[in-house]
Amino acid sequence: MEQLIIVVAVLPLISALLIQLFAGRIGRRIARVSVAATTLSFLLSSLLLWWALTGYGPHALPLGNGTAVLLYDPLSALLASIILGISLIVHLYSVRYMAEEAGYGQFFVLLDLMTAALLFMVIAGDLITLIIAWYLVGVLLYFLLGQDTRSQTAYRFAFWTLITYRIGDIPLILAAACLYNAYGTWSLTTIFAEIMANPDAHQVMGLPLTEVVAALIGLAAFARSAQFLLHTWLPYTMDGPTPVSALMHAGIVNAGGFLMNRFAPVFVHSGDVLNWIFIVGLITAVFGSLLMLTQNDIKKALGYSTMGQMGFMIMECGIGAFSLAIYHLFAHGVFKGTMFLSAGSVINDARQDDGIPKDELYTFAVEKRPDKVRQPWILMAAITLAVPLVILVFAHLLVAEDYFQKQGAIVLLFFGWVTGAQLIFATYRMRTQNIWRLVGLSVLSLVVVVLGYAVISHAFDLFLYPDPAFRAQLYSAATIDLLRFDLLVVVVTLIVVSGWVVTYYGEQVGYRRRQQTKHLWLNFYALISREFYVSDIYTRLTRMLLAISGRLNVWLRWL
């Protein structure tokens, strides 16, 4: 077992070394070496994951004098398999995609090194190894994004990404320093055991150590997972190679969710920090989803979609659903990686045929053939609000009877309800000849998705955190005052219900009412299309700093 853990992590490093040494001799066949090493590593990691699923307990493997530790537990076993699976797909795609690009061998060296850095990050059992791997991921991503040295845009935003990542490294280093100063060890398992035994034993400047460390870990996760105000690097790094975009959006940007799960024993005792994390994730999810809708570039739209999904992932951690965040990480990684690898084909097809194909789906969903008899809007509004709620409640009663006793679960149900209502309302607006057929298909798809999500997320919960007491502590840490929570739920529910009713009513009012509010929507669209001026503000601040530094250089005669 111990040797297998080391082999899984070291194989990509060996592949990178062999390619670097023998690239001149074997030429384009270097890709075979890289793919073979990644495939073998993935198969071995799958074996480790299987052992974890069968109940093989957590195991810490010291290296050298014991300072460096590799940690084998359900979280590291699962994420190692996910990373290697996505990396293998990217490797296979890159064999032909990068064939005509300069630096073919260099690309596979960097790709193998990135895979190794991600592996060491998730299996790190000590703070030193974690920080080194965390840092190297940012550096290697900079070189991968700037693979095309002829592109000034690619170089610019690769550097922008590097700077943002370095900003996120500082809180993680400070958190590690605080923990080492308090407990005198770099071992994560030892530190977490001490925290669980006595969480209030140490303070930092008069504040509980756990809350300070949790806040610092949250900040590090925000920068790595493109949370609002630290997100601008993500949608603009699209000039890099498509395989890099796929790996970045499918695996690298998810690192914030991993980091918060790794430090879950710290967050158990940091309820106030979790509440702020939830707010940041919620804001990011809303802004990312809005900005995605206004993009006319497919890859940039996917970038903002990733931002929104990372907001949901962080938000799930903020309500105590840490295992759900890992499930979100996994599902989003597979989904978004596939979309990025398919983006080139979609763009190529659009360039060859700029017309819209008149297939059955287009005729059914886009042409919106009007229904001869419109259904009563009050009836459809009631169906829109009631059906998703019934489906969600029934699905979650199947997996856990006490599900509705947790505030975090109520929040997740609320967002699921809003999403389901949006689906049915969009179906209603299609105005097909047989509205009941279309609504029935939408409800059936919603049932399948919700049941799958409920069952799989519950399975993730049992696998990653088998101790029911610890799971209860995670949800309990994220709770707020019951009166404020109930009041918030009632107010937001009334706002959503009122919004749906007004929207349905607006569908009946027709053209005149839409014309009256047209200028408001145009102003709102202009604000979104400029991405809330966040990038403009950063650009202005950059120019100001450069101007100030230039004046200082002249004044101090440094130049």
Instruction: List, for residues 530-546, the tens digit of each pLDDT value.
Output: 888 888 888 888 889 88
Pairing of strands 203-204, 59-63: unpaired
348 burial (CB, 10 Å; 0-12 / 13-18 / 19+) is exposed
Q: What share of the chain is helix, strand, coil (3-state, %, to 5)?
A: 80, 5, 20
> Is the same domain home to 326 and 300?
yes
How many structural domains does the chain have? Answer: 3
> Is the same domain home to 427 and 443?
yes
> Is the same domain home to 201 and 344?
yes
Rama region for 307: left / alpha / beta (φ>0; ψ in -120 to 50; rest): alpha
Identify the domain containing residue 537 by its residue range. 519-559
**pLDDT(352) > 80:** no
> Which range in 91-105, 142-156, 219-233 is most confidently predicted, on average pLDDT?
219-233
Residue 266, CB-side half-sphere exposure with 13 Å CA sphere: 26
**pLDDT(515) > 70:** no
Percent of residues, the chain, with pLDDT higher than 90: 32
> Is the same domain home to 416 and 530?
no
> Is the same domain home to 294 and 333?
yes
> Is the same domain home to 360 and 444?
yes
Confidence of residue 179 (pLDDT cuts 50, 70, 90): very high
Instruction: Tell me whether residue 258 is in a domain.
Output: yes
> Is the same domain home to 388 and 478?
yes
**pLDDT(370) > 50:** no
pLDDT tens per residue, range 302-329: 889 899 889 989 988 998 889 889 988 8
Range with the poorest average pLDDT among 102-111, 137-146, 271-280, 424-433: 424-433
**pLDDT(132) > 70:** yes
Q: In 3D, which of 29, 1, 2 has the Cα closest to residue 15?
A: 29
Q: From residue 353, how far is each of 320, 339, 343, 356, 360 by CA, in Å?
A: 48, 20, 15, 8, 18
Percent of residues, the chain, with pLDDT higher than 70: 81
Domain termination residue (choose one: 334, 354, 374): 354
What tokens were used for 317? 């951690």
Instruction: Tell me whether residue 177 is in a domain.
Output: no
Instruction: Tell me whether residue 109 is in a domain.
Output: no
H or E stretch at 7: helix 2-26
519 burial (CB, 10 Å; 0-12 / 13-18 / 19+) is exposed
The whole-number average pLDDT for the span 58-85 is: 88
Instruction: Tell me whether residue 276 is in a domain.
Output: yes
> Is the same domain home to 337 and 449?
no
Instruction: Tell me whether residue 548 is in a domain.
Output: yes
**Higher per-residue pLDDT: 446 or 474:** 474
Domain termination residue (choose one: 354, 376, 406): 354
> Is the same domain home to 204 and 343?
yes
Domain termination residue (choose one: 339, 354, 369): 354
The whole-number average pLDDT for the span 409-419 is: 70
- Please state the length of the chain: 559
> Is the same domain home to 465 and 416?
yes
**pLDDT(123) > 50:** yes
Per DSSP, the three-state class of 207 is strand
**pLDDT(214) > 90:** yes
**Higher per-residue pLDDT: 205 or 40:** 40
**pLDDT(231) > 60:** yes
Instruction: Tell me whether residue 372 is in a domain.
Output: yes
Rama region for 516: left / alpha / beta (φ>0; ψ in -120 to 50; rest): alpha
Q: CA dihedral defined by 504, 509, 515, 517, rounded to 10 degrees?
A: -50
The whole-number average pLDDT for the span 93-111 is: 87
Instruction: Tell me whether residue 131 is in a domain.
Output: no
> Is the same domain home to 319 and 392?
no
Instruction: Tell me whether residue 333 is in a domain.
Output: yes
Task: Evaluate the CA torsion angle 304, 308, 313, 318 in order and state its sign.
Answer: positive
What is the per-residue pLDDT for 360? 47
> Is the same domain home to 505 and 526?
no
**Higher per-residue pLDDT: 38 or 468:** 38
The whole-number average pLDDT for the span 46-63 is: 87
d(CA 88, CA 332): 17
